[in-house]
Structures are given as C-alpha cells and as structure tokens.
Amino acid sequence: MTESDPRVPAKKGAAAVDQFLRKLAVTPKRGGGGRGRLLFGMDATASRQPTWEQAARIQTEMFTEAASHGGLEIQLCFFRGFGECRASSWITDPETLARRMASVTCLAGHTQIGKVLSHALAETKAKKVDALVYVGDCMEEGIDDLGRLAGELGLLGVPVFVFQEGHDPIANRAFAQVAKLTRGAHLNFDADSPQALRDLLKAVAVFAAGGRLALTDYANRAKGEVLRLSRQIG
C-alpha cells in the first residue's frame, strides 16, 4: 500500500470547505460501462469482531443488488493491531470475498482511517474508484489530516460513505466532515439493528454499480435509512 502526497490548498475553516464543495460540483460523475468499483474499508480493531462478521454475511447481497446495474468489483481494505493496514485484490464474486473476510481476526489497536483514505487515493489514480464505504465506531487521528485526504478524494470524484456504529461525538464530527468534503454520506447505526447496516451497504453497492439515478430508484423502494442516505448525496 502506498501513501498519496499531492497537496490541496492549505486554507482553514469554512472558506476552505466552501472552495472544495464548489470544485466538487463540477467533478465528473460515474459514466457507466463495466463493473462498478467499490472500496470497502473497515475498522478491524478488537471491538469490531461482531460487526466484521455481520458485514461478511451481507456482502453476498451487495453483489446481488449490483448485478442488475452492471456488476461490482470490491476491494477490501482494513486495519488492525499495531500499524497493520492491508488491502485485497479487486474481487468480482461473493465467495472469494467471503473467504477473504473469514480469514481475518480483529486485533486491538488504534484507528488508521488515514491509511484507508490514502489507499483509496492511490487506487483511484490508477483506475477510477466509484465509491469508498467505511464502517467503524471511533476516530483516534488528527481531524485536519483526514480532512485533507477527504478533500483530495472529493476533487477526484470519489464519494465516501461512512457508516458509524454508535454515536461517539469525536468520530461523529470527523466522519461528517469526511462525508461532506467528498459529497458522500454519514449515517449512524446500532449494533442491535443489523438490518440498518445491511440496507446501507446494499445501497452503496447499487450506487457504485449504477450511479446516482440507480441509488435514487433503489432508495425510493427501500425507504428508511437508504432514503436518508440518498438525500444526503442528492
């Protein structure tokens, strides 16, 4: 995994955010053709094992929902333990992804969300990534550093969908900024409501494969949290 180091303007505060959002308004949207490319980022630190197992069960449904929109490629990127951050190859079938996820055991450690964002930058510069979804519950890094990386992803047209388990206020603030700077979405879910995470992940798979119109159509049928997600990026 390589670190991306291109720079964005160093302006601070609301003016910088507004400048990013003006540029994002003219970035290209998904043009269709071929499989959608979804980078699936997850926190695999010790407390995340139940959610990891839940996500592993949902991924088959993500491929199924995306099939009618041209199909999906998923790359798994996760961090755990002491500085470990890994990414799989790009995967086009649920069985391979299921085996890859089943081989991972969550380990105690601090968050490394910046590495996931940096990796997404490197991947989309090699070949366009249609969306990044990140699932986690906390943030233990510098919010300005994450904001810089999110801004770069936004300028490249990669929306970040952050699904936050629980309501940690520090993470809540950081994740909302990452979503805003990339024209993505940030929603909370609870561990005892597995259907919410299932619906949200399926919705992002539809978006990556079919774009905004496909997501809008899916959201109008699915309602609930998926409709909230669609409205955030609309």
Give the percent of the chain with pLDDT over 90.
Answer: 75
131 and 96 Cβ atoms separated by less than 8 Å: no
- Distance between CA atoms of residues 222 and 90, nearest Å: 28
Token pair 């490629």 in the structure block, residue: 73
- Whether the predicted pLDDT of 16 surpasses 90: no
Distance of CA 234 to the CA centre of its chain: 17
- Distance between CA atoms of residues 231 and 56, nearest Å: 27
Q: What count of Cα atoms within 13 Å lies in the side-chain half-sphere of residue 8?
A: 24
| Band of residue 19 on the pLDDT scale cut at 50, 70, 90 | low
Domains by residue range for the chain, with CATH = 35-233 (3.40.50.410)
For 60-107, write each residue's pLDDT tens digit. 899 999 988 899 999 999 999 999 999 999 999 999 999 999 999 999
Token pair 């992002």 in the structure block, residue: 204
* Pick from 68, 11, 112: nearest CA to 214: 68
- Distance between CA atoms of residues 174 and 137, nearest Å: 11
* Pick from 73, 38, 76: nearest CA to 56: 76
pLDDT at 32: 52
| Band of residue 14 on the pLDDT scale cut at 50, 70, 90 | low
* Stronger pLDDT, 183 or 10, i.e. the higher one: 183
pTM confidence score: 0.85
- Whether the predicted pLDDT of 22 surpasses 70: no
- Whether the predicted pLDDT of 147 surpasses 50: yes
The average pLDDT across 169-188 equals 97
- Distance between CA atoms of residues 70 and 157, nearest Å: 20
pLDDT at 47: 85
pLDDT at 6: 39
pLDDT at 66: 92
- Whether the predicted pLDDT of 27 surpasses 50: no
| Band of residue 3 on the pLDDT scale cut at 50, 70, 90 | very low
pLDDT at 7: 37
